[in-house]
Amino acid sequence: MLEKKETILTGDRPTGKMHIGHYFGSLQNRVKLQNEYDTYIEVADVQALTDNFNNPQKVKESVLQIVLDELSVGINPNKATIFIQSMIPEIAELTVFYSNLVTVSRLERNPTVKTEIAQKRELFGESVTYGFLGYPVSQAADITAFNGTLVPVGEDQLPLIEQCREIVRKFNSIYGETLYEPEAKLSNNKRIKGLDGNEKMGKSLGNAIYLSDSENIVKEKVMGALTDPARIRKDDKGHPEICMVAYYHNLFSSQDEVKNVCSECKAGTRGCVACKKQLINAINNYLNPIREKRKYYEEREDEVKEILMEGTNKARKIAKQTMERVKKAMMLDY
Ligand code: TRP
Ligand code: SF4
């Protein structure tokens, strides 16, 4: 097997702004990883189009928002390379080559793809598009084009990494050792529940706190969060384990504060409104430095574009080298 220094390759579909679920689920981890590894972060606009082909405007607008999200939480463009998928034609080219190495039935059996297709019935009807069914192939191209060896993912993305590994092994066995086989780097970060107690935080569910939400929006959202419905009067004994306010205190408040929240709630000595206000402060204190950084970059859109173009140029150089190796191996080096 080919050996090399570990390279992190990760990406996001630009389909909206990022929320605190993304933050605790992956962004926070990325900020740490950029200090330890060569890190590439792809803005996967081509992949976003596989299920948003009818809404290019949404994808376009989300690209800038996502980059602002990344920069505002502390992704450092001097450490990590942020780039745009559609500006690297080698990815599309690799996708075509790799598509010979994976069967349609294998793609149809991919659990992640299967779940997503079921969720997108409205978009795809009875028959999914060729592009969407094949996005794992394109994602294998994303990873291998930049010699990614470590892909930080949550559980739901594991089948995509497995699919990529299979493609790499098949490629290498037919055409000779050319591609690096990546490994999933499972983040043990948990999935963050929504304000309404839903297992998932998501835009379509309307239960998310965005990194770009203002102080007032955070206030409104927390005021509407799900609490223990059994608490009607202030001295009713509460159950913090079913209250989303307590759940978020766990993420944003100190351990001592969390202890107080729980014991006072259970004893019936804590009012829900005061408890929410305390949480609003904690969240806003947490988000304020992120908001400040965002503002800095929002006021300097040219600088953001430059970061993206520099990152893309750097990434493309690597992709071109990979393409050269691939074409040579496939006897396409005319
Ligand atoms: N599929 C990923 C998601 O939905 C996004 C993505 C695109 C990605 N290309 C990638 C993730 C390459 C890791 C590596 O979040
Ligand atoms: Fe939830 Fe706090 Fe009210 Fe208890 S006091 S139910 S933890 S909001």
Q: How far is CA 255 from the centre of its chain?
A: 27
- Residue 119's SS3 state is helix
**77 in any annotated domain:** yes
What is the residue type of 32?
A: K
Check residue 1 and give its pLDDT.
Answer: 59
Parallel/antiparallel/unpaired status of strands 38-43 and 7-12: parallel
Q: Give the number of the ligand closest to the Cα of residue 84.
A: 1
**225 in any annotated domain:** yes
pTM here is 0.94
299 burial type by CB count under 10 A (0-12 exposed, 13-18 middle, 19+ buried) = exposed
Give the CATH number for residue 252. Answer: 1.10.240.10
**103 and 23 within one domain:** yes
**224 in any annotated domain:** yes
**218 and 122 within one domain:** no
Q: For residue 260, report the distance from its CA to the centre of ligand 2, in Å.
A: 11
Q: Which of 84, 85, 77, 83 is nearest to 303 (CA)?
A: 77
Cβ(42) to ligand 1 under 6 A?
A: yes
Low-confidence residues of the chain, pLDDT below 50?
A: none
**277 and 259 within one domain:** yes
CA pair distance 280, 277, nearest whole angstrom: 5
**134 and 275 within one domain:** no
Which residue range forms the structural domain that includes residue 146?
7-192+301-329
**309 and 281 within one domain:** no
**181 and 137 within one domain:** yes
**143 and 33 within one domain:** yes
**274 and 316 within one domain:** no
Which H helix or E strand runs over 186?
A: strand 183-186
Q: For residue 27, report the distance from its CA to the centre of ligand 2, in Å.
A: 28
Q: How far is CA 4 from the centre of its chain?
A: 25
**173 and 45 within one domain:** yes
Q: Whose CA is nearest to atom 5 of ligand 1?
A: 12
Q: Give the number of the ligand closest to the Cα of residue 263.
A: 2
**321 and 184 within one domain:** yes
**204 in any annotated domain:** no
Taken as a whole, the chain contains a residue count of 334
CB-defined site of ligand 2, < 6 Å: 227-228, 231, 238, 240, 243, 245-246, 261, 265, 270, 272, 275-276
Structural domain count, the chain: 2
Check residue 2 and give its pLDDT.
Answer: 61
Q: pLDDT by residue (tens digit) across 55-78?
A: 999 999 999 999 999 999 999 999
**126 and 157 within one domain:** yes
